[in-house]
Structure 1
């Protein structure tokens, strides 16, 4: 079923660039920003030491959530582009 919004609505997802490389740069900058926010909160709560298992669990959750959020945003943007309905040309293969 088609989505009930279109690119004229100008949501946050619609502001992503259409090309792949600029979109990747934007999502990378979003990840860096999320990293700085995480470091800020670690300093705010005075977390100076983590046991190895706590660190691994933290890194696993952080990487998983970062990847998941970037994937969701990219998929929704791709659906808004109508890429699913375009036929592949010979130059795309």
Structure 2
């Protein structure tokens, strides 16, 4: 069974977002923690401070780019807008219409994911990562987080102005 244009776009955009975020964050980790053998989970220069800072910056930029590219794909008719009855049933529909505010809200949501991740690390008793372990953790973490945030941004952007197009407001 062939995938629809929207699903192909969604999968490709999520894959590119995850890959770009993973590569970017791996480079940053290599620079920031180059002299560390063990990276502490808590503290001023730690996993926690890095994850919070990187999550908000990376995902703000990611949502901005993904939203703009989705809008361009919609205007070029490469993908189809969501139908009005699908759009009206989601919580993603409640995200702000303006790109900057949407980027900010989803970046804050990524920080909530980071807080939950750090809470789980604390429950497991992690106090530090070896640098090689942190590379792997960082790669997986930002791939998953960026893909999840990209799905929300794309889905919301596919529904932008749909209600006005169908004169349903």
Q: TM-score, normalising length from structure 2?
A: 0.44
Distance in 2 between the 1:30 and 1:8 partners?
A: 21
Distance in 1 between the 2:117 and 2:135 partners?
A: 15
Pairs aligned (count): 83
| Residue 82 (structure 1) shift | 5.0
Pairs within 5 Å for 1:41-52: 41-52=120-131
The C-alpha deviation readout for 1:40-65, integer Å capped at 9, x for no partner, is 00110101232222110001111111
Q: Gaps spanning 5+ residues in structure 1: where?
A: 87-93
| Residue 69 (structure 1) shift | 1.1
Match of 2:113 among 23, 34, 43: 34
Q: Gaps spanning 5+ residues in structure 2: where?
A: 1-79
More off after superposition, 50-59 vs 16-25: 50-59
Distance in 2 between the 1:35 and 1:7 partners?
A: 28
Give 3-state SS (helix, strand or coil) of 1:71's partner.
Answer: helix
